[in-house]
Amino acid sequence: MQDKFACDTSVIFNGQIINLIEDGELGEKPEIFISNIVLAEVEYRTNIHKEIGYFGLNVLKHLRELHDNGEITLHIVGKRPTREEIKMSPGGELDALIRESARENDAVLITADRIQGDVGAFEGLEILFAWEKKPKTEILPQSLKLISYFDDETMSVHLKRNLAPYAKKGRPGDWRLQKISEEPISTQLIEDIALEIIENVREDEHSFIEIEKEGALVAQLREFRIVITRPPFSTDVEITAVRPLVSLTLNDYAIDKRLKTRLNKAEGILVAGPPGAGKSTFSAALANYYLEQDKVIKTLESVRDLQVRPEITQYTKLEGSLENSADVLLLVRPDFTIFDEVRVFEDFKIYSDFRLSGVGMVGVVHSSSAIDAIQRFIGRIELGMIPSIIDTIIFIEGGDISTVLTLKMTVKVPHGFRDKDLARPVVEVRNFDNGRLAFEIYSFGQDVVINPINPLKTKRPTKDFEFSREFIPGKRGKAPKEKIELDVIIEKEKVIIKADLNYASQNIEIYADGKHIFTGSLSRKSEINLSLLNKEGRRILKELDRNKDIYGKIK
């Protein structure tokens, strides 16, 4: 086999040239030719702060180390491309110059670019295709530096150069920001972590780069959503990694038979709540629930990080636009689309178009209250169309359902008006729990009025005061709740928690020796079934092994 090889940019940017050398596929001490055109491309990508540029630069450094160690003979050949040649790059001018360099040095052209290889073969060059090898591993290697910052309680890790690392620990709605080391993150360490992330994302078939722009990269590394930012976008190099702690089902939420029936009929659902409240976790549980109802489910996400079953296909921006994605998604004809998240004007338009096309929609919206979720639609779509687009709002707070609102259009005299001639179309917003009218929305002159009729009471306390778990949440000073004896049965791969039939179909909090484990809903048989693959199931099993007293209290 010939021992002269010329590299194009593709095998530098995917690192396959290193694998070929270290695996001995290029023979002993091969001659490697790197064109100045390749160097210019790597330098350009690095200068505009693209992570692929930093990755390519490290590959070049590795090649130099192999040369210095006598494992290869490295040659840098050719001239740097002119500005005119760079401008013609999309037309293939630089690729043609790389092929010409390989021909001049009588070298085999190594490439991972199918077009480059096929054109080179047509021109008479010997071609070696270096396809990216993606091992079908089921878990991430525990040796990753990033993983060392996570434990069972960690929701997210925040790393910034020259500062100590921090982590959010706890659960949605009940977390704390904690310093996890006193030692600041050095420049070398944060660059090593960033490089390691990029290497694993490119090698793992279950991971991908979602967004890459100057100074910013968003990647999905298995269950970890990772954002890497650099100047000029951010003031310094920073890595933020977020991981969902739990994968829940609807039965894990404070949901009764009436609400489940409503969800079966609803087609325009908004899942609202503040950042970190658990909106996406609930939306994923709802998507999996609809899948079990034999419905075709798709997701539309700017960053594909919902933890849904593999039967649910997740779509992102097509050619940089969610509108393009929506055009294709309509042709797929899903029964329900999970839209995470509805934020800018185009997103509201897509949500509305899908609903008016008859597609069931679940939209995730950031808001500080349930009614604020509706206000985000006002002004973006006509008031009279809102009940046709939105029929149910679920407000998530502290990781659980706090408020449920329903919408309906009627013609009436608004509350507080006396003259019957002032009757007009009114959107009634009702509290689902008791059916009471909570708000009226109507036009008054040139303005849209949102009139509160009966103030909503949240089911959960605010963050301003803490409460003992022995007392009813949100009601300070009340008597302790009744302790409920539970039977815990272990069967194969699941845990069955049984209570007295008097508590059937009620929401219950599960405790182990006074420590809150989770909140669930008892079935009609007064049971909760947990898989041992579920975090809560494993936690119950762990507490049983410690001989802890497992009991419950009605929520």
DSSP string, 177-223: EEE--SSPBPHHHHHHHHHHHHHHHHH-TT-EEEEEETTEEEEEETT
Q: What per-residue confidence (pLDDT) applies to 473? A: 38
Topology alike, domains 4-129 and 250-452: yes
Q: What per-residue confidence (pLDDT) applies to 479? A: 43
Q: What per-residue confidence (pLDDT) applies to 88? A: 58
Pairing between strand 360-366 and 336-340? parallel
Q: What per-residue confidence (pLDDT) applies to 91? A: 61
Q: What is the CA radius of gyration of the chain?
A: 29
Q: What per-residue confidence (pLDDT) applies to 513? A: 85
Mean pLDDT by 10 residues, the chain (555 residues): 84 88 89 92 86 89 93 91 67 84 93 90 92 55 83 92 93 82 92 88 81 88 90 92 82 86 92 88 92 93 83 88 89 92 88 91 92 88 91 90 93 87 92 90 89 68 35 39 82 83 84 87 85 82 80 86
Distance from C-alpha of 330 to C-alpha of 125, rounded to nearest angstrom: 45
What residue ranges do the domains of the chain occupy? Answer: 4-129, 147-242, 250-452, 484-554
Q: What per-residue confidence (pLDDT) applies to 474? A: 37
Q: What per-residue confidence (pLDDT) applies to 69? A: 92
Please report, for residues 214, 486, 489, 525, the alpha-carbon distance to residue 501 in angstroms, rounded to integers and kept in the order given. Answer: 60, 11, 16, 7
Q: What per-residue confidence (pLDDT) applies to 64? A: 94
Pick the CATH number of 4-129 from 3.40.50.1460, 3.40.50.620, 3.40.640.10, 3.40.50.1010: 3.40.50.1010
Convert 73-93 to b/e letters by CB count within 10 Å (16 or more is b).
ebbebbeebeeebeeeeeeeb
Fold of the CATH domain 147-242: Beta-Lactamase (3.30.450)
Q: What per-residue confidence (pLDDT) applies to 471? A: 34
Pick the CATH number of 250-452 from 3.40.50.1970, 3.40.50.300, 3.30.1780.10, 3.30.565.60: 3.40.50.300
* Cβ atoms < 10 Å from Cβ of 411: 8
Q: What contacts 485, CB < 8 A, 6 or more positions away?
A: 499, 500, 551
Q: What contacts 287, CB < 8 A, 6 or more positions away?
A: 297, 299, 306, 308, 309, 312, 336, 338, 362
Q: What per-residue confidence (pLDDT) applies to 478? A: 42
3-state secondary structure of 549: coil
Q: What per-residue confidence (pLDDT) applies to 87? A: 59
| Burial of residue 197 (number of CB atoms within 10 Å: 0-12, 13-18, 19+) | buried
Q: What per-residue confidence (pLDDT) applies to 291? A: 94
